[in-house]
Homo-oligomer: A and B are copies of this chain.
Amino acid sequence: MYSAIRWRVRRVRGSMPGTGLRIRTLHVRDIRFPTSLGAHGSDAMHTDPDYSCAYVIIYTDREIEGHGLTFTCGRGTEIVVQAVKSLSYLVVGQDAGDIFKDFGSFWRKLTSESQLRWVGPEKGVIHLATAAIVNALWDLWATAEHKPLWKLLVDMNPETLVSTIDFRYISDVITKEEAIQILKSKQEGKGEREEEMRTVGYPAYTTQVGWLGYSSERVRDLCREYLSQGFTCFKVKVGQNLEDDKRRCKIVREIIGWDNKLMVDANQNWDVQQAIDWMKELAEFKPLWIEEPTSPDDVLGHAAIAKALKPLGIGVATGEMCCNRVMFKQFLQAGGMQYCQIDSCRIGGVNEILSVYLMAYKLGVPVCPHAGGVGLCEMVQHLQIFDYICLSTTKENRVIEYVDQQHEHFENPTNVKHAHYIAPTAPGYSTKMKAKSAESYEYPLGHEWEKMFNEGTFQRPHVPLS
């Protein structure tokens, strides 16, 4: 059926897929999973997250839809939902082909709306909402092309790919022309790398062995389990209690040994000097990186921490809350991140993420995507696979986060084998949720929530929701 639609579309309006595909409407839903009931996902700052998302569906005048989402932690999803509604007038009624053929300009239109930009600009709620919409547009595009998103990106010529990016505010680090040249220089061996991604896949690391609050026995068992699955990189949450951090790090090293990699993550819990002092205490466990040691906005603070920890062989990783390409630019310029952790929803979708990959490549910083929240693993695999095939062409010092949660709610969940993400084959951005999941967990009226309210497991929301 898809082929027939594509054929008809192309015949009528020319070569740009999606042309003649009118965006009829955009729906947004507040979907929440009650993950706070376990200790899953808890860290030093987010003690009781209910993994959630603002979930966008773009309907067209054909049988093609675009699905996109932005990850949230429960309360606050209703604000992002409102922001999606406020932005949606820029999308509804548009011809998808017109958007895709000059996606960079359309992206700027979304992020620079003359009144809405005041409540950002390009950060926080409005940018999370932008991400959900933009992700849905990319899913629509890839679906219309009948390709998984990574393949859509891989098959684009460099000029088309770069036309999706807004270079405003980053031209002091990379220009459009430079980006095209870089991509052109990386064509050789694409076929082999693509084949490798389809068969062997891209290496993953696990965050599930050392959440705060896990008992020694649980940490031990989980390390053994993930080792047996083939994982070689393990991340542990730290930052609330030094002795407890040492306890868990010690156990992890006992089980995984010293050839495997250990990373630690403080989730923004420290001030600059405190981060340095604390990490000196944990240096004996030889962590590869300390993730989010302090405020995600503190470029210079991260740079100071990185400088102090370099002699100990510890790098600084951050990015999941880095709010836009301008902040990434500075982290990369200032030596504030040795590992660049792009997130698929925090910044303005694929377009802006591509600009970060290009800057990171140019400044020699490996990208190790953040994942684990609702749909994040599903999305970042496409981006990192694109990076490997078309840009960095190496997996050295690179690995994608993996958490085994909420995958069951997606139509095309990740396929992780021997601790590797196998390249997705289904068309789109892997962002389509199962209709039943979305219905059951829609907040607050989905029947799973209704059940939990009735049982008293959760209180009904105390704020008026839009």
Contacts and interface: CB of A to CB of B under 8 A. Distances in A.
Contacts of A88: 463
Given A83-B79, A168-B271, A123 B124 contact: yes
Interface string A261-290: 000000010011110000000000000000
Contacts of A77: 119
Contact of A82 (B82, B112, B294, B462): B82
Contacts of A128: 119
Given A115-B75, A118-B72, A125-B126, A271 B172 contact: yes
A257 interface: no
Given A89-B462, A124-B127, A127-B124, A172 B301 contact: yes
Contact of A50 (B115, B119, B273): B115
Nearest to A36: B115
Interface string A46-82: 1111100000000000000000000011111111101
Contacts of A463: 85-86, 88-89
A37 interface: no
A326 interface: yes
A120 to B, nearest CB: 5
A128 B46 CA distance: 21
A89 B50 CA distance: 18
Query: Chain A interface: which size bin?
Result: 35 or more
Contact of A116 (B76, B121, B298): B76
A341 to B, nearest CB: 15
Interface string A116-152: 1111111111111000000000000000000000000
B297 A125 contact: no
Contacts of A116: 73, 75-76
A385 interface: no
Contacts of A121: 268, 296, 321
The 4 lowest CB-CB distance pairs between A and B, nearest first, are A124-B124, A466-B466, A125-B125, A75-B115
